[in-house]
Amino acid sequence: MKKIIVVGAGVAGLSAAVRLQKLGYQVELFEKDSQPGGKMNQIKKDGFTFDVGPTIVMMPDIYQEVFTFAGVNPDDYIPMEKVEPMLKLYFSQEEPLTLSNDLVELTKTLESISEEDAQGYFAFLADIYKRYIIAKDAFINKSFRSVWDFYNPKSLWSGLKLRTFNDAYSSISKFVKDERLRKSLAFQTLYIGVSPYQGPSLYTIIPMIELFYGVYFIKGGMFTLATSLAKLLTELGGTIHYNTPIEEIVIEDKKTTGVKVNGEKISADAVVCGADFPYAMEKLIPDEKKRGKYTDKKIQQMEYSCSCFLLYLGLDKEYAGKNLHSIYFADDFKQNVDDLFELGHLPEDPSFYLYRPSKMDKSLAPENQEGLYVLVPVPELSKYDDWSDEAVAKYRDKVIAKIKNKTDFTDIDQHIISESYYTPDDFKENFNAYNGATFGLKPTLKQSNYYRPHNKFAYAENLYFCGSSTHPGAGVPIVMQSAKLAVEELLKDEE
């Protein structure tokens, strides 16, 4: 039986490991942390349970498919419930918008703005759906190993039809006039760490995906996906070594022959790496000559997505309201986005996202109390890097003051009984995220599709990559897809 080593128990590494074990390989997975999940980690403190990173479940069929592939019922591992309304958006001056994926409710919301904008909104959805179908077949479900996989008439024609060169905000503005609607369709590019004023317009598929395929909640939170994949892997016969960082991916004569752990080589027939690609290049393949175009200089020069500052607050009271996901836009959203991507400032007036998991699952907070997850997009470390204790304390106070002023948590400062935080430094330190960029390499046109690191490594045999910085990109379902593509590449090499 062939042995495969998987690096990292993030959702990408875990998904690849499950698939490979099911296919009959002997899988050994090595994770530097003490638990699975990577950015999909969990904090348990003072009776409160928080997901560290991802919270919004989109494209549930992709989550379920890996369990079905392994021959088990996904509902036994990741029971899901639809979230309705999906999202509430708050603006500085105007009325909030509640976004429902019930067509009747959505139509009411849109018509309350104007019939013209309702028409524009639906026209936008039709347009982006068409482009999504093209992208799904031509790019998301397809991996690239040779230049001809990309530069062939079919791919080029598909690329043209995607009309992806505009930025998200301008492309949406052609369809709707209301500023809130424009923002509501554009801001989601931040979910993958790219500016709505710069990123390829194709990423406006995200709000369409939320509306058409729903937003879900997994019982216990996102971390349930990580623990369930880890459980499934061991049930299938695979092995996971926690607290065991891989030190090197061993390449000899352009062939990957294993990894180094604690100074010793462990041999394998192939290696699938789910650790962040740019980090893996620099640290796990230290000899530049073995990694082709991915020199240290190139790695440094590539563009990275933004990062996040997070507060996980345990509150000794349960506040009114029932929305699971809420977004509060900065008064000047464009300035906020420029701070992140252009200027490298910690936003003075940040937009922020609130997540209230105990509204869906009471077991996540003590009775009559509630846990509040606060996410503030911030620049990645090459643009801004002062996360000293003093800087964190100052920014934390600013964020709490914003929450007091802008939300119904008006007396939150008097009810915080437990508190933890994550900064870009923590994402770098804990999970080896290059530059602390929470969504990996930025999906610019120059770093997408054929131009994003491939799932099959071009410079050594028997080495495959998955995860946010590889094709097709970031976000839980998309990195699960990257794992599937990496496994398919490995199978192709076996033919």
Ligand X SMILES: Cc1cc2nc3c(=O)[nH]c(=O)nc-3n(C[C@H](O)[C@H](O)[C@H](O)COP(=O)(O)OP(=O)(O)OC[C@H]3O[C@@H](n4cnc5c(N)ncnc54)[C@H](O)[C@@H]3O)c2cc1C
| Binds ligand X (CB under 6 A): choice among 85, 371, 453, 467 | 467
Residues 297 to 336 in contact with ligand X, rule: CB under 6 A: 308, 310
Three-class secondary structure assignment of 409-466: CCCHHHCEEEEEEECHHHHHHHHCCHHHCCCCECCCHHHCHHHCCCCECCCCECEEEC
Token reading at 311: 């507060």
Ranked by CB distance to ligand X, the top (closest) residue is 10
User: Which amino acid belongs to residue 8?
Assistant: G
The one segment of 7-15, 119-127, 200-208, 392-400 that binds ligand X by CB under 6 A: 7-15
- Coil vs helix vs strand at 230: helix
For residues 348 to 387, the per-residue mask of contacts with ligand X, x marking binding by CB under 6 A and - elsewhere, is ---------------------------x------------
Residue 98 Cβ vs ligand X, minimum distance, rounded to whole Å: 19
**Total site size for ligand X, rule CB under 6 A:** 38
- Residue 401: φ, ψ to 5°: -65, -40
What is the Cα–Cα distance from 331 to 145, expressed in whole angstroms?
A: 45
The one segment of 99-107, 143-151, 402-410, 475-483 that binds ligand X by CB under 6 A: 475-483
* Residue 60 in contact with ligand X, rule: CB under 6 A: no
Beta bridge partners of 248: 260
Residues 227 to 266 in contact with ligand X, rule: CB under 6 A: 245-246
| Binds ligand X (CB under 6 A): choice among 299, 456, 475, 490 | 475
| Binds ligand X (CB under 6 A): choice among 5, 18, 54, 294 | 54
User: Which amino acid belongs to residue 132?
Assistant: Y
Q: Count of residues for the chain?
A: 495
Q: Give 118 or 476: the residue with its C-beta nearer to ligand X.
A: 476
* Residue 217 in contact with ligand X, rule: CB under 6 A: no
What is the Cα–Cα distance from 356 to 368, expressed in whole angstroms?
A: 13
State the pairing for strand pair 248-252/255-261.
antiparallel
| Binds ligand X (CB under 6 A): choice among 5, 9, 78, 463 | 9
* Residue 40 in contact with ligand X, rule: CB under 6 A: yes
The one segment of 74-82, 390-398, 444-452, 469-477 that binds ligand X by CB under 6 A: 469-477
CA 25 to chain centroid: 28
Q: Are 412 and 303 in contact (CB under 8 A)?
A: no
Residues 263 to 292 in contact with ligand X, rule: CB under 6 A: 274-276
CB neighbours (10 Å) of residue 339?
24
Question: If we measure between CA atoms, which residue out of 469, 468, 464 comes closest to residue 485?
Answer: 464
| Binds ligand X (CB under 6 A): choice among 19, 22, 39, 290 | 39
- What are the helix (H) ranges across 70-189? 74-77, 103-113, 115-135, 147-150, 153-162, 168-173, 179-186
- Coil vs helix vs strand at 312: strand
Q: Give 19 or 32: the residue with its C-beta nearer to ligand X.
A: 32
* Residue 456 in contact with ligand X, rule: CB under 6 A: no
* Residues labelled catalytic: 210
Q: Give 55 or 171: the residue with its C-beta nearer to ligand X.
A: 55
* Residue 38 in contact with ligand X, rule: CB under 6 A: yes
- Residue 410: φ, ψ to 5°: -70, -25
Q: Give 57 or 162: the residue with its C-beta nearer to ligand X.
A: 57
**Where along the sequence are the contacts to ligand X (CB under 6 A)?**
7-13, 30-33, 38-40, 53-56, 58, 245-246, 274-276, 308, 310, 375, 431-433, 438-439, 467-468, 474-476, 479
